[in-house]
């Protein structure tokens, strides 16, 4: 099963096994990763599942759709070049080892 590594704003890393097809957001909630709020439940309305994707993986992700791009504009912590919404990243075998850094705040 692919692994996703969540790095908190303070720098603590946690490695989680994520079934293929599950979103990075859903896996965070299921595994008690506190830096993901996911207020809207993963429908691209709220920006509270914002993550900074490790550069090594960023270019391997399917590009963000218009809706996600728009939501990133309102993120509580300003977006960076590798910002994504974790509700829009589905884990695949190819993404094994995906590392995402969590912003200091989501709201």
Q: List residues binding another protein (CB under 8 A).
A: 26, 29-30, 32, 34, 39-41, 43-46, 66-67, 69-71, 73-74, 76, 78, 107
In whole angstroms, how close is the CB of 52 to another protein at the nearest point? Answer: 17
Residue 32 vs 62, nearer CB to another protein: 32
Residue 6 vs 57, nearer CB to another protein: 6
Strand order of the β-sheet with 83-85 is 13-17, 3-7, 98-101, 50-53, 83-85
Q: Tokens for 92, please give them.
A: 């695949």
In whole angstroms, how close is the CB of 56 to another protein at the nearest point? Answer: 28
Residue 57 vs 84, nearer CB to another protein: 84
Closest by CA to 75, choosing from 100, 41, 52, is 52
Q: Are the C-beta atoms of residues 83 and 75 closer than 8 Å to each other?
A: yes
């Amino acid at each position: 099963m692919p692994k996703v590594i969540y790095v908190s704003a303070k720098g603590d890393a946690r490695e989680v096994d994520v079934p293929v097809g599950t979103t990075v957001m859903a896996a965070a909630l299921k595994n008690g990763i506190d830096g993901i709020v996911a207020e809207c439940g993963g429908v691209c309305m709220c920006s509270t599942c914002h993550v900074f994707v490790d550069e090594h993986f960023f270019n391997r992700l399917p590009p963000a759709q218009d809706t996600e791009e728009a939501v990133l504009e309102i993120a509580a912590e300003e977006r960076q070049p590798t910002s994504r919404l974790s509700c829009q990243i589905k884990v695949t075998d190819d993404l094994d080892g995906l590392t995402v850094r969590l912003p200091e705040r989501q709201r």
